[in-house]
Amino acid sequence: MKSRHFDMIIIGQGLAGTTLAWHLLRRHQDILVLDQENSVTSSKVAAGLITPITGMRLAISWRFRELLQTAEQFYRHIERETASRFYHQRGMIRFFTSNREQERFTKRLETEEFGELVQRPISSFDRNLFSSPMDGFEMPRASQLYVSQYLDVSREYFLERQCYRSACVDLNNDILLTASGVQLPRLEISATQLIFCRGAEDRKNPWFSQIKFKPAQGEILTLEISELQETRIINQKSWLAPMPENKFAAGSTYEWNQLDSKPTADGKEQITSNLKQLLRCPFQIIDHRAAIRPALHDQKPIIGRHPRFKQLGIMNGLGSKGSLQAPWLAKQLTNHLCDDAPIDPQVDLNRRYPA
Ligand SMILES: Cc1cc2nc3c(=O)[nH]c(=O)nc-3n(C[C@H](O)[C@H](O)[C@H](O)COP(=O)(O)OP(=O)(O)OC[C@H]3O[C@@H](n4cnc5c(N)ncnc54)[C@H](O)[C@@H]3O)c2cc1C
C-alpha cells in the first residue's frame, strides 16, 4: 500500500488537538488527527468551566477578555458548522467561604477590570436548596463547554472528511524524521509537520523533554439531584455545574503525587463534604472519575516548533483552563505553522526554553 502524505498530522484528539485541527482545516490544510481513544482523558473528564475569577486569591484568569472573545467566536462557529450546541453562557455564583475572602473581594472591587466581571447582589436563587452562610457575588460571563460533546461532534466531522483515524502512536518506534518532514511507516502515512497534542502523556515525549511539566490529577463526580433546577454554576469551596441529561458535575480536586487516573475515596470525600455544606437537598452520586491535567511548572500553556527538528511541534500545558485557552492557542499556532507568524512570547516554546 502506498503511503499517504498530509500537510500536518496531529497526535491527540483532546481539547488541544481537536481545536488545532479545526483551525488548520479553516486554512485548507490537508490534515490527519490520530487518537488512541482511551476512555479516560483529561478532556473527557473535564467539566469545561470557563471562570473569569478563580482561586482563593480571586485572581482574574490570564488574559481573560481576549481569550474569552476568541473562545466564544470559535465555539459558536463550530456549533454552526456541526449543527450542534455544546457551548453555554451560564453565569456563576460564588459564595464567600471566609471573612478574609470577602475583604479581599471588596479590595479587588477597586479595580475597574475586576468590577466589570462581577455582579452584586446575587440575583435570586432557591434558598430552600442552598445553604450559604455568607454572601457572595455573581460572574455573568462564566461559561461552560460540554467538552465530550464538542470532541464527539468534531470527531464525526473529521471522520466524514477522512481526517481522523484511531491509532496509538509509539513515539520511540513509529516516527522517522526526514529532511522534508516525518514518516510513520507502520501506519503508512507521512507529513510535512507532526504536532503533539497528547496532554499529560507528553511529559514522556523524548523530543520535548526540555518542557517542565507539573501535572495535577483531578477528580470529579457526576450527580443526580432531582429537586435542583439551577442553570448557573455554583461555587462554594467546590463547584456544582449543570451537565447534559439533567445531571450535575461537582469537583474538583488537585493532587500532584498520585498520577494514575484512579479515583480515590479521599477525593470523593472532599467533594462530597463540600457539597453537603452547600446543598440542603439530597443528591445521588452516579459516577466518579479522575484524570491528569496537563499543567506546566509555571502554569502557562506552551506552543511552538522544535528548536532543531522544525517538522515537529507541540501544543500543551492547558492545565485547568483548556476550554478558555485552546482556541486562542490553536489560532496562534496555526498562524505560526501556516504563515510563520510570531508566537506570543509568553507561550512560545523557544522563548520559554531557549536551545
Ligand atoms: C477533574 C478535571 C476537571 C477539569 N475541569 C476543567 C474545567 O472545568 N475547565 C477547563 O477548562 N478545564 C478543565 N480541566 C482541564 C482540561 O481538561 C485540560 O486542560 C484539557 O483537557 C487538556 O486537553 P489536551 O488535549 O491537552 O489533553 P488530553 O485531554 O489528555 O488529550 C490528549 C489526547 O491524546 C491522546 N494520546 C495520547 N498519547 C497518544 C498516542 N501515543 N497516540 C495516539 N493518541 C494519543 C489521548 O488519547 C487523548 O485523547 C479539568 C481536568 C480534570 C482532570
Summarised one tens digit per residue, pLDDT across range 66-113 is 999 999 999 999 999 999 999 999 999 999 999 999 999 999 999 999
- For residue 197 the three cell numbers come to 497534542
| Domain identity same for 152 and 272 | no
| Domain identity same for 121 and 156 | no
Which residues have CB under 6 Å of ligand 1? 11-17, 34-36, 38, 41-43, 45-49, 168-169, 197-201, 218-220, 251-252, 291, 293-294, 316, 318-324
Boundary (domain end) residue, out of 247, 274, 293: 293
> What pTM was estimated for this model as a whole?
0.97
CA 16/CA 10 separation, integer angstroms: 10
Q: Grid coordinates 479545526 are at which residue?
A: 22
| Domain identity same for 136 and 202 | no
Give per-residue pLDDT as tens, 19-60: 999 999 999 999 999 999 999 999 999 999 999 999 989 999
Pairing of strands 49-50, 143-145: antiparallel
The residue to mutate among 9, 11, 43, having the most atoms of ligand 1 within 8 angstroms of its beta carbon, is: 43
Asked if the structure places residue 86 within a domain, the reply is no
Query: How many domains does the chain fold into?
Result: 2
Boundary (domain end) residue, out of 276, 293, 310: 293
pLDDT band with cut points at 50, 70 and 90 for residue 133:
confident
Asked if the structure places residue 79 within a domain, the reply is no
Domain that holds residue 259: 92-140+216-293
| Domain identity same for 205 and 221 | no
Residue 253 CA, closest ligand 1 atom number: 1
| Domain identity same for 241 and 220 | yes
| Domain identity same for 221 and 284 | yes
Atom 51, ligand 1: residue with shortest CA distance: 46
Give per-residue pLDDT as tens, 282-323: 999 999 999 999 999 999 999 999 999 999 999 999 999 999
What residues have CB less than 8 Å from 172, skipping those under 6 apart? 206
Residue type at 341 in one-letter notation? A
pLDDT band with cut points at 50, 70 and 90 for residue 1:
low
Residue 34 CA, closest ligand 1 atom number: 43
Whether the Cβ atoms of residue 228 and residue 281 lie closer than 8 Å to each other? yes
Asked if the structure places residue 273 within a domain, the reply is yes
Instruction: Report the share of the chain in percent with pLDDT over 70.
Output: 100
